[in-house]
Structure 1
Amino acid sequence: MNKATLKEAADWYAVLADDSVTLKSREQWQYWLDANPSHKEAWEHISSVSRRFERIREGDDSNFEVVSDSLSRLQQRRLTKRSTLKSLLLFAGLGVGSWLSVTESQRVPDADYVSDRGEIKELKLSDGSKVWLNTASHMDTTFTTYRRSIHLQEGDIFIDTAVDDLARPLIVETQNGNLKALGTRFSVAEEGDQSVLAVYEGRVEIDTRWDSPRVISAGKQIRFSKGHWGVLQAADPARQSWVNHVLLAQEMPLGELLLRLERYRLGYIHVDPDVADIRVMGVFPLDDTNIALDMLAASLGVVVDKRLPWWIRVHA
Structure 2
Amino acid sequence: MHAVPSSEAREVARAAAQWLALLESGAANEDDHTRLQNWRNSSCSHESAWQKAQLLRQRFSGLPTALAMATLDRPDPARRAVLTRALGLAALVPATWLLGRQLPLDVWRADLQTGIGEHKRLSLADGSTLQLNTDSAVNADLGARQLTLVRGEMALKVLGSAALTIQAPYGRLSVGRSEVCVRLTERDCRVSVVSGSVQVQPLRGPQLVLREGQQIRLQASGAGPVDAFDALLPGWREGVLMAQNLPLGDFLRDLSRYRQGLLRWDPALESLRITGSFRLDNTDRVLSLLAASLPLEVHSRTRYWVTLVPQESASRKNIG
The aligned counterpart of 1:153 is: 150
Report the AA paired with residue 157 of structure 1.
Answer: M
Q: TM-score, normalised by structure 1?
A: 0.65
TM-score, reference length from structure 2: 0.65
- Structure 2 residue aligned with 1:225, among 219, 229, 239? 219
Percentage of matched positions with identical amino acids: 30
The CA deviation at 1:307 is 2.1
* Mapped contact 1:238–1:249 kept (Cα < 8 A): no
Q: Which residue of 2 aligns with 1:45?
A: none
Cα separation, partners in 2 of 1:156 and 1:239, compared to 1, 3 Å = farther
Q: Do structure 1's residue 215 and structure 2's residue 215 form an aligned pair?
A: no
* Structure-to-structure mapping, 1:59-138, within 5 angstroms: 83=54, 90=64, 93=68, 106=103, 108-138=107-137
Task: Give the residue type in structure 1 aligned to 2:152.
Answer: G
Q: What letter matches 2:68 in structure 1?
A: G
Matching of residues 117-196 of structure 1 within 5 Å: 117-144=116-143, 147-164=144-161, 167=162, 169-196=163-190
Structure 2 portions without partners, runs of 5+:
1-25, 27-50, 70-89, 311-320
Change (3 A) 1:297 1:156: same
3-state secondary structure, aligned to 1:261: helix
| 2:47 equivalent in structure 1 | none
Q: How much does 1:229 deviate?
A: 2.5
Provide the rounded CA distance (Å) in 1 between the counterparts of 2:260 and 2:232.
21
Q: In structure 1, what is the Cα distance between the partners aligned to 2:222 and 2:54?
A: 41
**Matching residue of 1:234:** 228
How far the C-alpha of 1:83 sits from its partner, in A, is 3.4
RCO higher in structure (CA 8 A, sep ≥6): 1
Tell me how far 1:283 sits from its aligned partner.
0.7
Could you say if the C-alpha distance between residues 150 and 119 of structure 1 is closer, same or farther in structure 2, counting changes exceeding 3 Å?
A: same
2:290 aligned with 1:296: yes
1:238 to 1:275, Cα distance in 2 relative to 1, 3 A: farther
| Deviation, structure 1 residue 231 | 2.7
What SS does the corresponding residue of 2:178 show, helix, strand or coil? strand
- Contact kept, 8 Å, 1:221 with 1:236, in 2: the verdict is no
Q: Residue 311 of structure 1 is aligned with which of 305, 309, 312?
A: 305
Consecutive aligned runs of 4 or more in structure 1 exceeding 6 Å deviation: none
Which protein has the larger Cα radius of gyration, Structure 1 or Structure 2? 2
Asked if the contact 2:216–2:226 (Cα under 8 Å) also holds between the matched residues in 1, the reply is yes
Instruction: Note the residue ranges of structure 1 that are not aligned, 5 or more in a row.
Output: 1-55, 57-79
Q: Following TM superposition, by how much is the alpha carbon of 1:267 offset from its aligned partner in structure 2, in angstroms?
A: 1.0
Displacement of 1:81 in angstroms is: 8.1
CA distance in 2, matches of 1:128, 1:226: 33
Question: Structure 1 278/140 Cα, relative in aligned 2: closer, same or farther at 3 Å?
Answer: same
- What is the alpha-carbon root mean square deviation over aligned residues? 2.9
